[in-house]
Structure 1
């Protein structure tokens, strides 16, 4: 009977601790004591005590009330914990809130997701370039590709489009691709549609018929007509 009662207490008195906190507290800048104190604050709040004292926290931890108080101050200063003040019938009350911690966790998780997605795109680009070049990329070429993504903020779609342009032009080298990307950035080209319109504009300008006087001065020049964006 006592065992069943204890089991029921364990099952029904649980405090939900986000796995994101357990998985990421260290990368978020927290050590074990700070994380455990936040968990205890969360437990107190879950059971209706919104402002546990350092003494109450110390009873559950292996640190003194003074150490708990110092850790609480640090967590508030660093933006992991906040205090809310309210007034009811001219009586002021204070309460801890873990909203700053949850916001940090969500932001950290989102940044990791974006970073992982960016890494996957970068890896895919390496594979595409190596397949087109028929060889592994050199360290300088890898650095250039990373620079296009991280510093110049070119999308993977535009980089692949510039690669296709270099293949069709018969100028498969990083310098030529970099010139294409530089020209697009200079002209605020950020999408495939804009690149297509920009290319058509250039071709129309170059294929305009010269005047009779210009034809006498220089021979006519023809330019290839292809729409590489639709390849």
Structure 2
């Protein structure tokens, strides 16, 4: 057979595109190499339009017997990686990969949630440390509970709470009652980001005066949140 004819036949066989996310994470789906190879061959057949290859067809491609292939397929079904379904129009059985894609999606959703929780824990820890640094002492149990309520019950993000702390420092009213009122007003006005909080604070702050005005005079705003 000439090389040109051979190349044409190879091209006519087509290619199998395997998602990298599957190759990189099949171990996390509790699949061993044999199960993975059987899965890939089933997937390869499906891309050629053969949606329900026999165990003999799978065995012909591998160094496994048909019975071993059948055992692997059974495990793939038990592990909810593939499912055997029946076409509503044709009535023929086929391998469905929907369970596989769902498991991969759930894997990354769970990972994303874990990262979000970890990030939230870091932010909360930083928040408590910042408060103790500004107050110059450890927070009391009531103050810690108030901080937790701002986050868990009132739904304030740590950066917004930090912005409220900044307003309290600038106003020289470093107490939780004052900050609680600030956060209450911000929530009522729909302020949810640090940028929005800063803009709101600027509206009520005294404009910079002459150059000889002290830094503390620049920092103190006229606005008193407790008088709202």
Q: Please give the TM-score of this superposition, normalised by the length of structure 2.
A: 0.56
> What is the CA distance between 1:91 and its match in structure 2?
6.6
Aligned residue number for residue 172 of structure 1: 174
Q: Which SS does the other structure have where 1:172 is aligned?
A: coil
Indicate if the aligned counterparts of 2:85 and 2:95 stay in contact, CA closer than 8 A. yes
Any unmatched runs of 5+ in structure 1?
A: 1-14, 23-34, 205-223
The correspondence for 1:46, drawn from 40, 49, 60, is 40
> What is the CA distance between 1:170 and its match in structure 2?
2.7
Indicate if the aligned counterparts of 2:164 and 2:182 stay in contact, CA closer than 8 A. yes
Any unmatched runs of 5+ in structure 2?
A: 1-21, 44-50, 56-66, 207-219, 224-228
The correspondence for 1:105, drawn from 107, 111, 128, is 107
> What is the CA distance between 1:191 and its match in structure 2?
2.4
Q: 1:12-63 deviations in whole A, cap 9, x for unaligned?
A: xxx94627826xxxxxxxxxxxx56x9875442123377799x8688469xx
The correspondence for 1:127, drawn from 126, 129, 150, is 129
Q: 1:178-202 deviations in whole A, cap 9, x for unaligned?
A: 1110110011112233224434555
Q: Please give the TM-score of this superposition, normalised by the length of structure 1.
A: 0.56
Indicate if the aligned counterparts of 1:130 and 1:137 stay in contact, CA closer than 8 A. yes
Query: How far apart are the structure 1 equivalents of 2:154 and 2:127?
Result: 15
Aligned residue number for residue 210 of structure 2: none
> What is the CA distance between 1:154 and its match in structure 2?
1.8
What's the Cα RMSD here?
4.0
Query: How far apart are the structure 2 equivalents of 1:225 and 1:135?
Result: 25
Aligned residue number for residue 116 of structure 1: 118
Aligned residue number for residue 21 of structure 1: 28
Indicate if the aligned counterparts of 2:167 and 2:201 stay in contact, CA closer than 8 A. no
Indicate if the aligned counterparts of 1:82 and 1:100 stay in contact, CA closer than 8 A. no
TM-aligned CA distance change 1:148 to 1:108, over 3 Å: same
Query: How far apart are the structure 1 equivalents of 2:177 and 2:27?
Result: 44
Query: How far apart are the structure 1 equivalents of 2:27 and 2:68?
Result: 26
The 5-angstrom pairing of residues 81-96 of structure 1 reads: 90=90, 92-96=92-96
Indicate if the aligned counterparts of 2:168 and 2:178 stay in contact, CA closer than 8 A. yes
TM-aligned CA distance change 1:100 to 1:40, over 3 Å: farther
